[in-house]
Each structure stands twice: as C-alpha cells, then as structure tokens.
Amino acid sequence: MSNLFSSHLRPVALLRAVLVLCATWAGPCAIDAQTKAATAPTLQKIRQTGVIVLAHRESSIPFSYFDADKHPIGYALDLCLRVVEGIRRDYKLPNLRVTYLPVSPADRIPSIVEGRADLECGNTTNNAARRKLVAFTMTHYFAGGRLLVRSKSGVRRLSDLRGKTVVSTRGSTHLAFLNDQVDHGIISVRLLTAKDSDEAFKMLEEGRADAFLMDDIVLYSLRANAKEPTAYAVVGDYTTVEPLAIMLRKNDPEFKRYVDLVLTRLMMDGEIQPLYSHWFQGPIPPKGVTLEVPMSALMRDQVRFPSDKVGDDIGG
C-alpha cells in the first residue's frame, strides 16, 4: 500500500487511485477538496464548449454497450440522449455535439469526478459510498446480484461454491460483497477480477471460473448472447438489490435538478415504457436476441413515483 501513495505519484494519478479504492470500499473515504479536479458547473461548460460528454460501458447489455459497428447503444444511453435533447431545446443549443467516452467499472467514477465526462450512462449502483464522490439521478432499473454458472455444474446457490472460483468485475459492488463475505469467513472461495463483463464471462466459458457474480440482467444478457445459451444458468437468491442510476458530478445542483426533471417527466408521462419494452422485452442488437425481462414491481413503483432516493439513504 505504501507504494500506491508514494510521493513520486502525480496528483491526478493519486486522485484516480484513491477514487478507485473508494468506489469499492464500503467505509468512509475522505478526499481533500483541494485535490479534486476543478470543473466549471456542467451547464456552463456545455454552453461554452458546445459539447456534452457521455461516458458509457463497452459490454453492459442492455444498458450501455457497443453494437456490431462499435457504436455505443443501450437503454441507459437512450435516457442520457433524452437529457441531451432537452438541453438542446431548453437552452437553445441546437448544435450541441455529443462525444462518447468508454469507461470500465474501475474508472467510471474518476471519469465523472475529474470532469472527463458529464454523465455516466451505464448500470452503476447508487450507494452511500459512491455518493461521497458523485451524484445520482433517478433510479432507472432495479437489479439484483446473482450467479451465472454452467447449467451442469450443480451450483445453485452461493454456498455451493465452497472451494471453487468466483469472478466479478473490478470496482463493482458485487466484488466488494464477495470480499466482505470472504473476510468474515462466511464463504470460502477463490476470487478473480475481470475488467468488464465480457472478460468475466470468458473466464467462465473457458473454465477458469466456476461462477460469475453480477447484476442479474447483465447475466441474462450474456447468456442470451452466448454461443450455447442453454449451457448456462442464472441461479441463486439475490445477494444485493442494486438501484441503477446515471451518475453526474457532485455539488452541481443546477445540472442535477435539470437531469432529474427530464427523467421525472419521461417516467410520469409514460415515455419510458416503450424504451423499456425495446431494450428488455424486444429483439436487440447485435444478434436480435430477446431478454424477456418484464418490469419489476419496484420499477413499476419508481415509474409512478420517480425518486433518486434509495434504501441506504439516511435522514432523507
């Protein structure tokens, strides 16, 4: 650990290292305000530059991923693009340009804090540790942590993995959960980390891992797009409930109010329904597979009463 914080590290590299640690650690993590990258309020920056930067994931189907032509698409990106449309209209910026920034689970939070992206459009969980660093808008999906395994493995729950190997992605709440379970002696497994969901699935596919713990919707997507979908099964009870939301910079109330307003209108006016149906219940690129995931009771309530509050909020 001493090498990580040695004096020869540049300030930005140090900040990034600290942010990655904070994103995966459930405890408090204080960062000196003077070390944070100084950025102008987002709407002011957008007006001045004529550009909005959307961070996206490369393989988080159906939220944010590359299509066959390496163009970013997905449910969360569609929501972000609705925000962009609103800014063009409401702030009279018809020539506002969108640029895209691919991010991994490990560097998605630094991309927002350092000002390299204005919105992170993916499947990121809104939790208390992350809200020390960034802000979140309305929850756009409720996922749960489950296991993807080979159908013939005999694994049906986390306890079946004693002595086996489990993989999850760097910077994810699922990896933090596994580390906590191992540290407290609740489970006895060997942990592997992957940079993203595609790499984790490859480890499972090649037999380097016995299970992959991730948001259930991501696991269903990976299974649907596998060469042999029936060779894999999503199993186990929820290890966590994950309220997924778009990230934006902290302490930028004007921008957050605007993004919240756009997404609230989208939900209450019913415009989110066709978006949800397209990405979760209809054929999607690149292979035209259908996930067949109906809207959950939690999400139906969220659409009726949009909120950025989640279960770990204390005192409102």
Domains of the chain, by residue range, sit at 11-142+243-304, 145-241
What is the homologous superfamily of the domain 11-142+243-304 according to CATH?
Answer: Periplasmic binding protein-like II (3.40.190.10)
* Among the four given CATH numbers 3.40.190.10, 3.40.630.10, 3.10.110.10, 3.90.1170.50, the one describing domain 145-241: 3.40.190.10
Q: What is the mean pLDDT of residues 154-160?
A: 95
> Do residues 112 and 248 touch, judged by C-beta distance below 8 A?
yes
> Do residues 233 and 251 touch, judged by C-beta distance below 8 A?
no
pLDDT per residue over 237-259, tens digit each? 999 889 999 999 999 999 999 99
What whole-number percentage of the chain has pLDDT above 70?
86
pLDDT per residue over 263-316, tens digit each? 999 999 999 999 999 999 999 998 898 988 889 889 999 999 999 999 886 433
Non-local CB neighbours of 183 within 8 Å, separated by 6+ positions: none
pLDDT per residue over 197-246, tens digit each? 999 999 999 999 999 999 999 999 999 889 999 999 999 999 988 999 99
Fold match between domain 11-142+243-304 and domain 145-241: yes
Closest to 211 (Cα-Cα) out of 145, 271, 136, 288: 145
Phi/psi region, residue 292 (left: phi>0; alpha: psi -120 to 50; beta: rest), is left
> Do residues 23 and 130 touch, judged by C-beta distance below 8 A?
yes
Non-local CB neighbours of 297 within 8 Å, separated by 6+ positions: none
Pairing of strands 232-235, 134-150: antiparallel
